[in-house]
């Protein structure tokens, strides 16, 4: 959860100052900051549970690519506005039902972070859904660009829905966590928004991705180089 939020938040921050109009530049930066805020909470908790004295910054800035556990969708490049929107939508549509489940787990630290994040993510999904509809059902050019974005981003969407050994553990120990239900909700959101956007969802065949096991695309190295440079070059730097 923390790495998803961190890497996608970092990606979105690349738009800062480059948005198509000021209002949307701020909208995207807000989402980026929401995600980075969530990443701080999750990574602090992770460091605490690990118990080896690593805090949020240590985990964010001093791990190498293979130690990151986010979905490879999150690290895919921003592309054009439509690509960023679609990547965001496909993530939000997964992120929201997942957080809604985590709000109900017994562990109060997890449910606490989820309860705070879910309000932010509900808005993210509303925002990205509306943009998918606007662009998909917009001009011939915007529709074409959304189809292009679909080709680029869609293959990465499925990783979120494919269970690994961690999901099995969670389903046993962290009821009501159930990835199948998340997956069904994701699919119904996607179908609903795509039908309004005049977009056709491709078949649900996914490129095999193992981001959650630390196997990432070549994109991640570039993100880390930028994100981690300063704390690594000046380890004692203070904000």
Contacts of 10 (CB under 8 A, 6+ apart): 32, 36, 223, 226, 227
Which backbone phi and psi does 118 adopt, to 5 degrees?
Answer: -60, -30
Going by C-alpha positions, the residue among 186, 190, 187, 168 that lies closest to residue 177 is 168
* Closer residue to other proteins, CB minimum distance, 112 or 138: 138
Q: CA-to-CA distance for 4 and 49, rounded, in angstroms?
A: 18
Q: Do residues 65 and 153 touch, judged by C-beta distance below 8 A? A: no
Residues between 24 and 63 that touch other proteins (CB under 8 A): 24, 26-27, 30
Residues between 89 and 148 that touch other proteins (CB under 8 A): 123, 126-127, 130, 134, 138-139, 142
Q: CA-to-CA distance for 141 and 143, rounded, in angstroms?
A: 5
Shortest distance, CB of residue 28 to other proteins, whole angstroms?
9
Q: CA-to-CA distance for 69 and 159, rounded, in angstroms?
A: 12
Among 17, 22, 49, 52, binds other proteins (CB under 8 A): 22
* Closer residue to other proteins, CB minimum distance, 27 or 103: 27
Shortest distance, CB of residue 24 to other proteins, whole angstroms?
8
Only one of the segments 20-28, 82-90, 101-109, 111-119 lies at the binding site for other proteins (rule: CB under 8 A); that segment is: 20-28
Binding mask 168-187 toward other proteins (x if CB under 8 A, else -) reads --------------------
* Closer residue to other proteins, CB minimum distance, 63 or 134: 134
Distance between start and end Cα atoms, the chain:
25
Q: Do residues 203 and 150 touch, judged by C-beta distance below 8 A? A: no
Cα→Cα distances 161→95, 157, 186, Å = 11, 8, 9
* Closer residue to other proteins, CB minimum distance, 31 or 224: 31
* Closer residue to other proteins, CB minimum distance, 25 or 147: 25
Applying CB under 8 A, which residues contact other proteins? 20-24, 26-27, 30, 123, 126-127, 130, 134, 138-139, 142
């Amino acid at each position: 959860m923390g790495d998803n939020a961190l890497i996608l938040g970092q990606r979105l921050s690349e738009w800062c100052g480059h948005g198509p109009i000021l209002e949307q530049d701020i909208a995207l930066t807000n989402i980026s900051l929401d995600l980075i805020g969530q990443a701080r909470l999750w990574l602090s908790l992770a460091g605490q549970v690990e118990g080896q004295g690593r805090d949020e910054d240590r985990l964010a800035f001093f791990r190498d690519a293979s130690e990151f556990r986010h979905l490879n969708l999150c690290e895919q490049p921003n592309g054009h506005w439509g690509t960023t929107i679609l990547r965001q939508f496909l993530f939000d549509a997964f992120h929201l039902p997942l957080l809604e489940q985590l709000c109900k787990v017994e562990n109060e630290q997890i449910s606490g972070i989820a309860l705070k994040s879910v309000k932010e993510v509900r808005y993210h999904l509303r925002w990205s859904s509306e943009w998918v509809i606007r662009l998909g059902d917009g001009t011939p050019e915007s529709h074409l660009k959304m189809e292009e974005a679909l080709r680029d981003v869609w293959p990465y969407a499925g990783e979120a829905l494919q269970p690994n050994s961690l999901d099995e553990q969670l389903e046993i120990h962290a009821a009501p966590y159930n990835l199948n239900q998340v997956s069904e909700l994701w699919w119904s959101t996607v179908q609903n928004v795509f039908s309004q956007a005049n977009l056709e969802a491709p078949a649900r065949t996914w490129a095999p991705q193992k981001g959650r096991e630390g196997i990432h695309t070549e994109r991640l190295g570039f993100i880390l180089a930028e994100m981690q440079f300063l704390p690594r070059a000046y380890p004692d730097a203070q904000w």
